[in-house]
Amino acid sequence: MKKNAVIWVVAAILVAIAVFTVTNYNKQAVLVPPTPPAASEPAPAEGETSSGQAADNRLNLLEAPYDFTLEDLNGNKVKLSSFKGKKIFINFWTTWCPYCVEEMPDIEKLYQETKDGDLVILTINSGESKKTAQEFIEKKGFTFPVLLDIDGKVSQLYEVAYLPTSYFIDSEGYLVKGVTQGLSLEAMKAYVDALD
């Protein structure tokens, strides 16, 4: 009798953990201070941000404190602000995140279609070692750029609470959209097409 009771208690706890995880994964997080658009909000109309602020109060990620420099898998230093004048798609991921892994083939397709154009795709491995990220990327055969946020400081700066998290930045460096869920190729293209 006690054995059955223990089994039911353990099962109830596992169900509660699963419900909590799914519920919290689907919540949308505020992206970055001081008052960025929430990830679930639609893109702002021209001349205003999603919070209704004037265009000159928009969040520019190419300026301090949001500009960053990270090392890529080849040991090169990559500075975000060096891409001013290009559209930028940033994607935070880890090897253990199933939603991240699921969207990577579509990121690779988008990269192959746009690598010679005006879109820069930067994927950022959050909190894992270079060896872990490199072995994963090589095993999967991906060629898109991977930056290493080994200590998680950039992920923390960008308030990445859920993975994957993607940011779409216009050619002047302004944050246009943030999404805290996996994206299909069609969704990625739609967000990129909305950038100027």
Cα 20 from Cα 49, distance rounded (Å): 32
What confidence score (pLDDT) does residue 31 get?
A: 41
| Average pLDDT for the chain | 82
Q: Which of 23-37, 83-97, 149-163, 169-183 has the lowest mean pLDDT?
A: 23-37
With b meaning 16 or more CB within 10 Å and e meaning fewer, what string describes 2-27?
A: eeeeeeeeeeeeeeeeeeeeeeeeee
Which pair of structure tokens corresponds to residue 190?
């739609």
Instruction: Determine the average pLDDT of the residues in 106-111.
Output: 97
127 phi and psi angles, rounded to 5 deg: 80, 10
pLDDT tens digits, 168-180: 999 999 999 999 9
What confidence score (pLDDT) does residue 1 get?
A: 61
Cα 139 from Cα 129, distance rounded (Å): 16
Helix H or strand E encompassing 140: helix 130-140
Please report the domains of the chain, with CATH numbers, ordered by start residue.
2-193 (3.40.30.10)
What confidence score (pLDDT) does residue 30 get?
A: 36
Instruction: Determine the average pLDDT of the residues in 183-193.
Output: 95
pLDDT tens digits, 119-166: 999 999 999 999 999 999 999 999 999 999 999 999 999 999 999 999
Instruction: Determine the average pLDDT of the residues in 81-104.
Output: 96
pLDDT tens digits, 37-71: 344 444 444 444 443 344 567 899 999 999 999 99
What is this structure's pTM? Answer: 0.73
What confidence score (pLDDT) does residue 6 get?
A: 65
